[in-house]
Amino acid sequence: MGKFYITTAIDYANGDPHIGHAYEKIGADVIARFHRLRGDDVHFLIGMDEHGQTVAQKAAERGLTPQQQVDEIAPRFRDMWSTLGISYDQFIRTTEEAHKTGVRALIKRIFDNNPDDFYEKSYRGLYCIGCESFKQASEVVDGRCVLHPSRVLEQVEERNWFFRLSKYQEFLRRVFTERPEFLQPESKRNEMLALLDQGLEDISASRARFTWGVPFPAPLSNGEHQTTYVWFDALPNYLTATGFPAKGYRDRWPADVHIIGKDITRFHSIIWPAMLQAAELPLPRRVWVHGFVLFGGEKFSKTAGVRLDLDEAIARFGVDAFRYFLLREVPFDADGSFTWERFEERYTADLANAFGNLASRVVTMVEKYTGGLVPAGVAPETHAADASDLSAYTAFLDGSRGYLLHEALRIVWNIVTRANEYAQRRQPWALAKEPASRGDLEQVLASLVRQLARLAVLVFPFMPGKAEELWQSLGGPGRAQDQRLEALLRLDPGGWRVVKGPALFPREQPSAKASSGR
Ligand code: ME8
């Protein structure tokens, strides 16, 4: 049993959770649940990024203090994550005292270990509040930030603490070259290597005239106290969540993987490792960059006004169908679109017809032909193909080829198709009519239940609520989530008592939201 520490980006507390946030958290949840099925000791961190100008500005617009604003938003995110069945172990908020102490300790540790890494400099530049960073000329078109064209760039001129990022250029190049798994997918690693080729500029680490943040631990030489730059406060959340600087932090740090979106790759794969190296702390093992969920070809954002109501999308077919659809349709290594038409098609074809119908037919036949008791049987004829699919499934989820969650689902649906074909070929309903075929009938039903039991465990990371429903209706002992992947092929349902429940994915939809198990 290994330790596995997984994190997601912490979300800005300047609006409600949207479908892009949900996609990232669901993806990370799948990886966390997969590791639990392997018996790993998982720690799954998510949280809120509560400082910075976007938050302060939003609060001001609403006539609230920043603290009131973040206290109102954090529970809305937590509620959404519990609705979506996100099995996080820790929810960090950057306004927590322990986090602020950790950030100051990290900065002090950089001052102690590499005193030249911070220096004072007067600076003039264009600041984008949307990105919470200064923009270089190449990132500005018509006076606007390319990522946040609806925002006005701020001309900022002040004296700040600077972090000597440029010093880490060769170190980072070595990390990318010697540890290719450090930043994936490959396309992102190439993008970052190209940035290194252009040369890194030092970045400001503190801000004047802005107080909504962590006080920077050292005053400027003129005695002025400044506030820590928001990314210098946000990135360390992964470390402060482990209790840093208290000694026990080493039990958890370094993180096994940071799951983040493509717009914040540079912060996680260049600035964060440089900060850690400057503090002489180990780097995270991997950074995995997912793409964006698009709607009508555009990214979701509060400022661009592209809207798709998360509650509405969940209500359409329930939580688990929503989780399935997002991860099946939007590849976890690239951008993809959310469309209602595809959602309906996939719900009907993959969930209601292929998967739900298989489960309901098999349970009905066991009730009808063998009195509800699953007959004993030998390993199914499909065993070898199932076994090779299981190892492909594992390879798409364990990070060894990156995190290709959509591919893992494709593999699971291969097993669903194979089970349906098997039922069609062996025709248990016909065998039931011939007393002489009793042995064959029992073997076919035993095989089908065995495949369904495997499927319940394999879909568990993606659709935890439906997986448990299926497991219960098969009469499996305990819960699907307590099964172990390594024992999956030995799972023998002979003697289980099936219980016919409501359809897993009814064709006529209930209007209420379905709930997902945690
Ligand atoms: O960037 N599709 O917060 P955030 C997929 N606080 N992912 C998306 C997305 C979309 N349409 N839109 C946003 C921040 N995301 C910082 C992070 S981490 C130390 C600080 C992803 O609320 C985005 O890429 O703007 C990021 O990973 C996460 O949602 C939070 O975005």
Chain position carrying tokens 């740090």? 253
Domains: count for the chain: 1
**Is 86 in contact with 30 (CB distance < 8 Å)?**
no
Q: Quick check: 294 pLDDT over 50?
A: yes
**Could you tell me the CATH number of the domain that includes residue 462?**
1.10.730.10
| Residues known to be catalytic | 18, 21, 128, 131, 145, 148, 299, 302
Q: Whose CA is nearest to atom 13 of ligand 1?
A: 20
Question: pLDDT at position 381, please?
Answer: 82
The yes-or-no verdict on residue 306 having pLDDT over 70 is: no
Name the residue with the closest Cα to ligand 1, atom 4. Answer: 11
Mean pLDDT for the stretch of residues 486-493:
94
What is the pLDDT, as a whole number, of residue 308?
Answer: 79
pLDDT digits (tens, 9 = 90+) for 84-141: 999 999 999 999 999 999 999 999 999 999 999 999 999 888 889 888 888 888 888 8
Residue 403 lies in a domain: yes
Give the nearest ligand 1 atom to 272 CA.
Answer: 19
Range(s) of the domain holding residue 348:
340-490
User: Is residue 21, in this structure, part of any structural domain at all?
Assistant: no
In a domain, 417, yes or no: yes
Closest residue by Cα to residue 237 from 517, 13, 488, 480: 13
**What single string gives the DSSP state of each residue in 299-343?**
E-BTTTTB---HHHHHHHH-HHHHHHHHHHHS-TTS-EEE-HHHH
Domain assignment of residue 366, yes or no: yes
Torsion of CA 120, 121, 126, 128, to 10 degrees: -10
Q: Look at ligand 1, atom 18, and give the residue with the nearest C-alpha.
A: 9
Nearest CA to ligand 1 atom 26: 261
CA distance 290 to 287: 10
Residue 170 covered by a domain: no
Residues 25, 88: Cα–Cα separation, whole Å:
9
| pTM value > 0.75 | yes
- Res 411: pLDDT: 98
Q: Measure the CA–CA gap between 112 and 98, rounded to whole angstroms.
A: 21
> DSSP string of 182-208?
SEESHHHHHHHHHHHHH-PPPEE-EES
pLDDT of 517 over the 70 cut: no
Does residue 12 register a pLDDT over 80? yes
pLDDT digits (tens, 9 = 90+) for 18-37: 999 999 999 999 999 999 99
Determine, yes or no, domain membership for 56: no
Q: Is the pLDDT of residue 508 over 80?
A: no
Q: What is the pLDDT of residue 133?
A: 87
Distance 231 CA to ligand 1 centre (A): 13
Q: Name residues whose C-beta falls within 8 Å of residue 53's C-beta, 6 or more positions apart in sequence.
A: 129, 132, 210, 212, 230
- Ligand 1 site, CB within 6 A: 9-12, 20-21, 23-24, 49, 234-235, 237, 260-261, 263-264, 292-293, 299-300
Question: Which pLDDT belongs to residue 300?
Answer: 60
Which pLDDT tens digit goes with each residue over 350-409?
A: 999 999 999 999 999 999 999 999 999 887 788 899 999 999 999 999 999 899 999 999
Distance CA 226, CA 218 (A): 8
Per-residue pLDDT band for 297 (boundaries 50, 70, 90) equals: low
Mutate to test the pocket of ligand 1, among 49, 229, 308, 326 (most ligand atoms within 8 A of CB): 49
Q: Find the helix packing angle between 310-317 and 19-37, rounded to 10°.
A: 50
Task: Give CA–CA dist 411/405, Å, rounded.
Answer: 10
Q: What is the pLDDT of residue 150?
A: 85
User: Is the residue at 115 inside a domain?
Assistant: no
Q: What distance in angstroms lies between residue 9's CA and the mean position of ligand 1's atoms?
A: 6
In this prediction, residues 443-447 reach a mean pLDDT of: 96
Residue 301 pLDDT > 90: no
Predicted confidence at residue 378, as pLDDT, reads 83
Position 86 scores a pLDDT of 98
Tell me whether residue 287 is in a domain. Answer: no
pLDDT above 90: percentage of residues in the chain:
85
Residue 79 in this model has a pLDDT that exceeds 60: yes
